[in-house]
Amino acid sequence: MLVGIGLMPHGNPVLEPPDEETERLAEVLRRIGGEFRDADSYVLISPHNVRISDHLGVVLAENLVSWLGFEGKELPGEWKTDRELAEKIYRAEKEAGMPVVDLNFAALSGEYSRWPLSWGELIPLQFLERKPLVLMTPSRGVSRETLVRFGEILGEVLEREEKRVALIISADHGHGHDEKGPYGKVKESEEYDRLIMKLINEDRLEELLSIPEDLVRKALVDSYWQMLIMLGAMRKAEFELKASAYACPTYFGMAGALWVRK
């Protein structure tokens, strides 16, 4: 059963908040971790793992190993894949005709079946108790409708599951908030972030599908595609928003939100 959903950023500032706004965001992330303490497994969707232009990925490697931090921040550790759940998700998506691939490395199973983790996974995982997880990756090269349908199928699998599963969406938002940042300052980043928080707080997530493609592109985001998968999964049960927060202490915007099953 899908017990809840956590939208979690992957920027270093949430680990050591530099201001009150970021501390409030970190508190929401800690609340997500507390809410999902009784979950059996996580499904974690990250934009900063393997990048595939026109397929979505489900990682089947048994061992998930810290490898790539951001801006020198090392977060060591090793996690286990919930292989049984990962295989169920992959098979269901494949049978439904979704553009999905299964991912492994070195060996099909056992000690040498290993897969690297980046900051996109490691930072959210710092707020979650260590449990088996299924790592999945979105794709920017498939249609919005495909991403939502992929999420619906994911939700169907999780609803049939006896385990209690939490869905974790790793996402940062506009990356053009600071003229001194790597992408400069663009007004669309602020516009996109403000809209996302409005849709979250007003329970209007179905309107994600109506966001203009031009805004998504110009806002320099890495959240939109996995949020569409989230939207599809959320259609399979009723969820209630329990907490949300936003912070932008550097050039990219970060949001946290917790939904629990009604």
- Tens of pLDDT along 97-126? 999 999 999 999 999 999 999 999 999 999
- Give residue 79's pLDDT: 98
Nearest to 7 by CA among 161, 223, 193: 223
Nearest to 116 by CA among 158, 63, 155, 56: 63
End-to-end CA distance of the chain: 13
- Tens of pLDDT along 151-173? 999 999 999 999 999 999 999 99
Q: What percent of the chain has pLDDT over 90?
A: 98
Tell me 206's DSSP state.
G
- Give residue 82's pLDDT: 98
- Give residue 175's pLDDT: 98
The mean per-residue pLDDT over the stretch 3-20 comes to 98
- C-alpha 43/C-alpha 5 separation (Å) is 10
Q: Strands across the sheet with 239-247, in order? A: 100-103, 56-59, 133-137, 41-45, 165-170, 2-8, 254-261, 239-247
- Give residue 252's pLDDT: 98
- Tens of pLDDT along 16-51? 999 999 999 999 999 999 999 999 999 999 999 999
pTM (predicted TM-score): 0.97
**CATH fold of 2-261:** Protocatechuate 4,5-dioxygenase; Chain B (3.40.830)
In contact, 93 and 58? CB cutoff 8 Å: yes
pLDDT of residue 72 exceeding 90, the answer is no
Tell me 217's DSSP state.
H
In contact, 140 and 217? CB cutoff 8 Å: no
- Give residue 118's pLDDT: 97
**Rg, Å, the chain Cα set:** 17
Is 123 exposed, middle or buried (CB count within 10 Å of its CB: 0-12, 13-18, 19+)?
Answer: buried
**Cα angle value 132/137/142 (rounded, 5°):** 150
- Residues facing residue 79 across a β-bridge: 64
Tokens of 114: 């290993």
- Give residue 253's pLDDT: 98
Per-residue buried b or exposed e for 222-260, using 16+ beta carbons within 10 Å of the residue's own CB: bbbbbbbbbbbbbebbebeeebbbbbbbbbbbbbbbbbb
pLDDT of residue 174 exceeding 90, the answer is yes
Instruction: Output the average pLDDT for the chain.
Output: 97
Q: What percent of the chain has pLDDT over 70?
A: 100
Half-sphere exposure of 146 (CA within 13 A, CB side): 15
- Give residue 142's pLDDT: 97
Tokens of 179: 């003229």
Tokens of 181: 């940042």
